[in-house]
Amino acid sequence: MHIDLSGRTALVSGSTQGIGLAIAERLADCGAHVVVNGRDPGRTDAAARDLRSRVPAAEVTPVAADLATAAGATELAQRFPALDVVVNNLGIFGARPALEIDDAEWLRYFEVNVLSAVRLIRTYLPGMMARRWGRVISIASDSAVVVPEEMIHYGMTKTALLSVTRGFAKAARGSGVTVNSVIAGPTHTAGVESFVAELVGDELPWDEAQREFMRTHRPLSLIERLIEPAEIANLVAYLASDAASATTGGALRVDGGYVDSILP
């Protein structure tokens, strides 16, 4: 399928590495002007340079702003008053025994993983609706449905994103704007490599550690491997395109069959 996003401006929050960077690259490859975001100017600039080297014709603008804060969202809106595509990828995760998660950590996870998306949708959805075109895509997780006992605070935020998506899709009804979430399964990123080492130990070679992690901690996967970020980026690019005009309010899965359900 040829996806042409020429003339569209797309923000990918938290896109200096991992899934976010892969999404930014795929959207740039489809012709979109991509806004790369992170908190650190050095890393944001480096990500933009990396994208330009891999997609020579890419139009990429780095924006260093902490989108987990209201001030960061305001700063972004001042630089880009209008966007065609908003990909809410920003998120944090980590293992913590359930009874050891204090109030501050619950609030931090909600602020970063949920409110960052809510603020961006609230900022850009009205303009999209007025122009009769727009795409909002939030990166959720299999943890939204199959909540892992070692990080229920993370699972809670991803469940909340599914509700946020469905609610804002209803707010945009009839406008030509679509609002969807992508349920990503266990994905191979640098952060997940560290997470795997934390859970299964760092003595094993990576391939063996990955297999042990999937066998012990993610046994429901039908592909029995970690997903590559580009595989998630492919679905995001489709949802950002004109071809996905009838898909809205959905939670679409790139989870390797991890969620044991016949519904998306």
For the chain, the structural domain boundaries read 9-187+228-254, 188-226
Active-site entry in 109, 124, 154, 258: 154
- The residue whose two tokens read 């938290």 is 14
109 is catalytic: no
Residues of the chain with confidence (pLDDT) below 70: none
Q: Supply the pLDDT for residue 262.
A: 86
CATH entry, 9-187+228-254, from 3.40.30.10, 3.40.50.720, 3.40.50.1820, 1.10.1060.10: 3.40.50.720
Q: Taking the alpha carbons of 182, 50, 92, 120 in that order, is the dihedral positive or negative? A: negative
| pLDDT digit string, tens, across residues 110-132 | 999 999 999 999 999 999 999 99
Q: Supply the pLDDT for residue 114.
A: 98
What is the pTM assigned to this prediction? 0.94
